[in-house]
Amino acid sequence: MTGAFLTALFFAGNAVCARRAALHFGSTTANCLRLLLAVGLLGAWAHAVGQGVGGGAFGWFFVSGAVGFGIGGLTMFHALPLIGSNLSMLIVQCGSAVAAALTEWLWLGTRLSPAQAGLAALTLAGVVIGLAAVDPGGIRPARRRLGEGGRSRPTMSEPGIAGRGLPAPPMPPPFVLGIGLAIVSACAQGGSAVISRKAFMVLRSHGFLMDGATSAYQRALGGLAVGLLAVAVWRLWPAAGRKAASEATAVPAMALPPWIWVVLNTLLGPVFGVTCYQWALRTTQAGIVLPIVATAPLLTVPIARALEHSRPAPRYWIGAVLAVLGAAGLAVIK
């Protein structure tokens, strides 16, 4: 039980730290930096006491990481500055459960039961309600910094929340883009989970047991490959330009060195978060662990409120609770 609660807490804090890292370094660079650090830390374990790149399913884990850590992480990092930690976490964490169920159905032939279909619909309905509670007109410039294209642009604070009795203004293009990126991230991370399941099936067929840190390392290598490719495109492709400088966010109580957010993002996500997740699954039934981990989007709210001063409206809480219930049910219902 302790491992499950720690996993949910680590994943919740991870989203907030990732957003701060993205604002400091730019989304593409921040994603690559955390993957570099994760590969170093997990690789030290994997090659010292784990199986390194062995096991017979490295290719599957590598592809899983390229899709989840790579594409999913990159799009998540780009969504965070645009729509904030709360909404990003809700869409990605809960949407990935639906994406995983659909991918498993289409690829592995696992049919969706009526209960699973209903829970998927409940999850999506909760996300829609949570999205409807957000007032995109409440997005306000927090400061200006040089973007990855070298042009000065405003960075966005946490979206304001509707519910003041006023009609919601039209969604601005950055907000719509952030929603789209979060959906892509959810699909990528859901698909990555199914690919990882395929990898473990291959390991079982060979009678091989792999520890969680080693599998996370092999996945992180795939994510790092995508992250480095994204940085190369950003730096070498003329249309992408260059990022000339970075600024720390000028918020009192947040005056930490920029690299601290990268370290925290790495530790809370790929390192401690995944390690506690594997620990919980080894000692506790999945039917208990997964619903607890699925509460991460709810735990993100008080963390984001403390660090980002965002205050979700009641409708957001209603949507988030419904989405979490649906995602938790999908994790355990067969």
For residue 46, the one-letter residue type is A
> What's the whole-model pTM score?
0.79
**Residue 275: left if φ>0, alpha if ψ -120 to 50, beta else—which one?**
alpha
| CA distance linking residue 300 with residue 46, whole number of Å | 30
Q: pLDDT tens-digit profile of 271-284?
A: 888 778 766 755 66
Give the per-residue pLDDT at 135.
57
Give the per-residue pLDDT at 94.
81
| CA distance linking residue 34 with residue 237, whole number of Å | 23
Mean pLDDT, rounded, of the chain? 78
pLDDT above 90 covers what percent of the chain? 20
| CA distance linking residue 138 with residue 140, whole number of Å | 6
User: How large is the average pLDDT for residues 280-294?
Assistant: 64
Residue 245 has pLDDT above 50, yes or no: no
Neighbours of 45 (CB within 10 A): 17
Strand blocks (E) in the chain: 134-135, 141-146, 152-156, 160-161
| CA distance linking residue 52 with residue 270, whole number of Å | 16
Least confident of 20-24, 84-88, 165-169, 314-318: 165-169
Residue 120 and residue 104 in contact, taking contact as beta carbons nearer than 8 Å: no
Domain range annotation of the chain: 2-247+254-332
Q: pLDDT tens-digit profile of 169-227?
A: 555 678 889 999 999 999 998 888 888 878 888 888 888 878 778 888 998 999 999 99
